[in-house]
Amino acid sequence: MDKLINQFEFGLFFWQILIFVGLIFLLKKFAWKPILDAVNTREQGIKDALLSAENARKEMENLQADNQRILNEARAERDAMLKEAREMREKMIADSKNEAQAQGQKMIEQAKAAIESEKNAAMAELKSQVSTLSLSIAEKLLKEELSNKESQTKLVEKMLGDVKLN
């Protein structure tokens, strides 16, 4: 210990303190402050960059989710439209079929009515024709029959006989 104390040198102590304290203040002003500031700014910058990257990633995810949703919606809409179209087509076909059927039915009815009326007309015509024809025949026959007395009486009798039967 005595040797140690004997080693103490005031001049060296003076220079050491002077140089060292001077060095602390000089370095503080010209080195440590700028270095630490720069490092802090850089670290803050890195932190911010990471944060914004994370935000961008989240935004991207949101966007993708949106896209997916829109796509799904569009697909559903398309499906719905297709379904509607199909239904409409079927309905149209069914409708037209019904209409055609009704129309056909109607036409058949009309045709039937026309045929009936034609038939009736024809029948009437025929009837009148037959009646005239039968009248003329009857006329001719009567002329022939009634040319003698006997046959006239015979006919009257026959007719009377028919009336009796009725």
Contacts of 155 (CB under 8 A, 6+ apart): 145, 146
Least Å distance between CB 36 and other proteins?
A: 6
Mapped onto helix, strand or coil, the DSSP state of residue 48 is: helix
Distance CA 163, CA 153 (A): 15
Burial 76-95 (b: 16+ CB within 10 A, else e): eeeeeeeeeeeeeeeeeeee
Which one, 17 or 60, has the nearer CB to other proteins? 17
Q: Does 164 bind other proteins (CB under 8 A)?
A: no
Which one, 6 or 166, has the nearer CB to other proteins? 6
Q: Which of residues 143-162 bind other proteins (CB under 8 A)?
A: none
Token digits for 48?
């911010």
Q: Does 39 bind other proteins (CB under 8 A)?
A: yes
Q: Does 107 bind other proteins (CB under 8 A)?
A: no
- Binding segment for other proteins (CB under 8 A), chosen from 31-39, 60-68, 71-79, 93-101, is 31-39
- Locus of tokens 């944060």: 51
Q: Does 35 bind other proteins (CB under 8 A)?
A: yes
Which one, 33 or 69, has the nearer CB to other proteins? 33
- In sign, the C-alpha dihedral spanning 147, 150, 153, 158 is negative
The answer to whether 151 and 158 have CB atoms below 8 angstroms apart is: no
- Across the chain, how many H-helices and E-strands are there? 4, 0
Least Å distance between CB 34 and other proteins?
A: 4
Which one, 24 or 146, has the nearer CB to other proteins? 24
Q: Does 90 bind other proteins (CB under 8 A)?
A: no
Judged by the rule CB under 8 A, the positions of this chain that interact with other proteins are: 4, 6-17, 19-24, 26-28, 30-36, 38-39, 41-42, 45
